[in-house]
Structure 1
Amino acid sequence: MTRVRTGLERVAAGERRIGGARAGLITNPTGVLPDLTPSAPALLAAGVPVTALFGPEHGLRGTVQAGGGEADAADPDTGLPVFDTYGRSGAALDEVVASSGVDVLVFDINDVGTRFYTYLWTMYDLLASAGRLGLRFVVLDRPNPIGGVRVEGPLLDPGFAGFLGRLPVPIRHGLTAGEMALLAGRRLGVEPEVVPMEGWRREWYFDRTGLPWVMPSANMPTLDTALVYPGTGLLEGTNVSEGRGTTRPFELIGAPFVDGRFARELAALGLPGVRFRGAWFTPTAGKYAGTPVRGVQVHVTDREAFRPVLTGVSVLHVLRTLYPEDFACGPFLDSLWGSDSLRRALEAGEDPRGLCGSTGWSGPPEPLYR
């Protein structure tokens, strides 16, 4: 197998230089070399003058569940100050970056390829901050783990832009962090620098890259999770458990009001590349923690045929059809979907699967990989 070489590896090997007097590194546990050396010591060993670290959602060390970051502190391994960026943007984020004293920001985090995952929007906000503060911004590129060919889901309605999406891209967007940075730079009037990977092909899933999988967050344990997440992640906007607090988050779906009809109706749809197994589970955290619930496990049988967004919307449709008195969704679903069209269709009892047509997305204006 030909192994992909990440942007971090190229800088650590001395092939590309970052320069600057004081570098601020934006990273988390996914920022590693193939031998699992973290990016901060790897860059320091390569002579990059890293003087500050910045953590995204879940924190620099990845210890925090969704919706939080780790407090500012000192990194016990490098002694460098750590700044929490989660929940900050605009002037508040500028203040954090300015207080760090850096003159270049370096981004090294592996994303999961879904618009409503927040790491690329942390990158977007820090790129905007770098533009306002006159700092350079460098992206050490990494693979999109679910590939760069297939896209799915609607483009974000600008009226629903926020930390789950800043740019009008599909839910499954097919971009790498470097490509998203270039797209963001056009919007912001800033020119990021990208250290591209070597050897990555757009059709590759992460397990083809030869790189080690490191959990991007606590509820993203495997590539299987990342593959279903663009669809089953929509369950977070409902009163149905998306499997948080289990060993198969986003693959297990259930609620106390679900019965055996749910698995049978999903199987009858004949959705491409996926099967549904009736399942019981008891979440240890999140919705229905400590309560046995009934539902399904999602089993992807053919990656190439599987359409995660269509699958997720179909799950919502079946839930609304079978359990109209119990199933509920709220405004958070709008943020995930990128508009209120899905929620309105569900609340009206309409079939929302027609919303899963063409994305209208032509791909990155400056693709870095073919």
Structure 2
Amino acid sequence: MTKYFFRFSALFILASCQGNTVPQFRIHPLDSKLTPSSEVFYNEILPTLSGKKIMLVTNPSGIGNNPARIIREFDKYKVTLEHLIGLEHGFLGLEEEFSQTPVTMDTTFNRPLYHIYRIKDSDLKDLLKEVDYVLFDVQDVGMRCYTYVSVMKRLLDGIQNTKTQFVLLDHIHIAMHLPPMGEKMNPKNLNFAGEFPSLLISGMSMGESANFYNQEYLKGNAKIKVIPVTGYKRELYFEETGLPWFTPSPNLPMVESARNYLSLVLLEGVNVSVGRGTQAPFVYFGAPWMTDPEDLAKKLSQLANRSYYFTPVFFKPTFGPHKGKICSGLRMNLVSPDYDPMELAYELIRLMKDTYPKDFKWNKGSNNHWVDQLWGNENFRVAINSGKTYKEFHETYSKTEADEKKRIAPYLLY
């Protein structure tokens, strides 16, 4: 009996130990050692703004996820909410398209909502003169083409050499582990999704970008206060921080979408759907003409180094390219964030073009190709058309990346 008792006990202990080794894919917020900038703002900064007028720039990825708290806390400290700035996807982050009018009325706060991409710079400057502080709090993804950084630039341009101060609540984004990547914007391709003077992947948080822009381009003439995320170290991936993901737009509802966006956003320069208007934007991509996606998946698997893989999928987008049509395509399954998103974007489009030469097309706008506006110049598209490997293409701008890494180093907070 003793022999069986000890054998059973040993098995029980072994089973218990195995149960405790279940992998933890995310850190629970209760276990996080970081303090979000929003809590620092409410506890330490807001009480100092008593009697001041505020222009608020936020959405549900920032303090805009709790409008009731904003109203309550502003009233508590007698802070006046003078103006709201509308971002690309609206105050509630639900809009797929840009507002067609410069100003709408927000029913939550009963305040005018000024859509910054519709109003004139002179009108924006007049609005900025009416407030003491601009409070800016939105989640970004660390890319020039994500328009929230363009909004920040326009606001900083508007407050330079004025008394208006800029308070930015910083966020940790999904590309914090990456250095600057890509190329600079050619002025002829300048657009709202490319105004900020960084490489395609900036290598900076929003707060770091604000300080960088102020010193490098405004000669320090904007009054900026950045509230960092307390306790963050740059080597931590977002999933390791314990910070919850608050959706910054309808097309990045989850961390997986945001991570995939780093590569798949360049697919918006070709005639495929990136899953906008589906349950998995920037996870699904495809087109009605992509008849053998499994073949493309096999070719891509040779590049992945087990960091990601692709599986066939069918979907019907309700928004964007191929709206209402059944698309066959691929789902991007991310295993590890430790990969080169620029290489994946390049090879994915190159292989797509080689696999479907009759159907593949570069999307063209009124003045130039859309991928040129995303990448910043025509080099990405021209390199693929000329049959260059990614290594050959990357060698043409690797020095630009190295120089940019040195240039932004003094502004890094983490």
What TM-score, normalized by structure 1, do the two folds share? 0.89
Matched, 1:197 2:229: yes
- The corresponding residue for 1:294 is 328
Deviations 1:8-34 (A, max 9, x none): 21121135634673111111111228x
Matched, 1:311 2:340: no
Matched, 1:51 2:51: no
SS in 2 for 1:13: helix
User: Which of residues 108, 122, 143 is equivalent to 1:91?
Assistant: 122
Matched, 1:149 2:177: yes
Would the alpha carbon gap of residues 8 and 226 (structure 1) be closer, same or farther in structure 2, given more than 3 Å must change? Answer: same
Moved more, 227-236 or 249-258: 249-258
- The corresponding residue for 1:325 is 358
Matched, 1:28 2:59: yes
- The corresponding residue for 1:277 is 311
- For 1:285, give the aligned amino acid: F
User: Which of residues 144, 154, 158 is equivalent to 1:115?
Assistant: 144
Give, in angstroms, the shift of residue 300 of structure 1: 0.9
Greater helix share, 1 or 2? 2
- 1:212-291 maps to which residues of 2 (within 5 A)? 212-260=244-292, 261-271=295-305, 273-291=307-325
Matched, 1:9 2:39: yes
Would the alpha carbon gap of residues 157 and 79 (structure 1) be closer, same or farther in structure 2, given more than 3 Å must change? Answer: closer
Matched, 1:181 2:225: no
SS in 2 for 1:276: strand
Counterpart Cα distance in 2 of 1:20 and 1:116: 37
Taking only aligned residues, the RMSD between alpha carbons, in angstroms, comes to: 2.6
Give, in angstroms, the shift of residue 82 of structure 1: 2.2
Give, in angstroms, the shift of residue 161 of structure 1: 3.8
SS in 1 for 2:85: strand
Counterpart Cα distance in 1 of 2:101 and 2:239: 30
Give, in angstroms, the shift of residue 249 of structure 1: 1.0
Matched, 1:104 2:142: no
Counterpart Cα distance in 1 of 2:266 and 2:159: 32
- For 1:325, give the aligned amino acid: K
SS in 2 for 1:77: coil
- The corresponding residue for 2:15 is none
Unpaired runs of 5+ residues, structure 1, are none
User: Which of residues 382, 386, 395 is equivalent to 1:348?
Assistant: 386
Q: How many residues align?
A: 365
Give, in angstroms, the shift of residue 227 of structure 1: 0.7
Would the alpha carbon gap of residues 271 and 169 (structure 1) be closer, same or farther in structure 2, given more than 3 Å must change? Answer: farther
Counterpart Cα distance in 2 of 1:88 and 1:142: 27
* Equivalent pair of 1:317/1:352 in contact (CA under 8 Å): no
Counterpart Cα distance in 2 of 1:308 and 1:356: 12
Would the alpha carbon gap of residues 147 and 255 (structure 1) be closer, same or farther in structure 2, given more than 3 Å must change? Answer: closer
Would the alpha carbon gap of residues 39 and 69 (structure 1) be closer, same or farther in structure 2, given more than 3 Å must change? Answer: farther
Moved more, 11-20 or 220-229: 11-20
Deviations 1:185-233 (A, max 9, x none): 1212333221222112212333333333221001111111111112100
Counterpart Cα distance in 2 of 1:52 and 1:342: 40
- For 1:302, give the aligned amino acid: S
Counterpart Cα distance in 2 of 1:276 and 1:292: 19
Moved more, 356-365 or 219-228: 356-365
* Equivalent pair of 1:4/1:198 in contact (CA under 8 Å): yes
Give, in angstroms, the shift of residue 307 of structure 1: 2.0
Matched, 1:138 2:167: yes
* Equivalent pair of 1:39/1:108 in contact (CA under 8 Å): no
* Equivalent pair of 2:309/2:332 in contact (CA under 8 Å): yes
Counterpart Cα distance in 2 of 1:278 and 1:264: 11
Would the alpha carbon gap of residues 63 and 29 (structure 1) be closer, same or farther in structure 2, given more than 3 Å must change? Answer: same
Counterpart Cα distance in 2 of 1:205 and 1:41: 33
Would the alpha carbon gap of residues 234 and 68 (structure 1) be closer, same or farther in structure 2, given more than 3 Å must change? Answer: farther
Counterpart Cα distance in 2 of 1:162 and 1:39: 35
Give, in angstroms, the shift of residue 258 of structure 1: 1.4
Counterpart Cα distance in 1 of 2:165 and 2:93: 26
Counterpart Cα distance in 2 of 1:272 and 1:55: 40
Would the alpha carbon gap of residues 178 and 285 (structure 1) be closer, same or farther in structure 2, given more than 3 Å must change? Answer: same
- The corresponding residue for 1:80 is 111
* Equivalent pair of 2:208/2:413 in contact (CA under 8 Å): no
Counterpart Cα distance in 1 of 2:72 and 2:341: 36
Counterpart Cα distance in 1 of 2:231 and 2:237: 13
Looking at CA atoms only, which structure, 1 or 2, has the larger radius of gyration?
2
SS in 2 for 1:137: strand
- The corresponding residue for 1:128 is 157
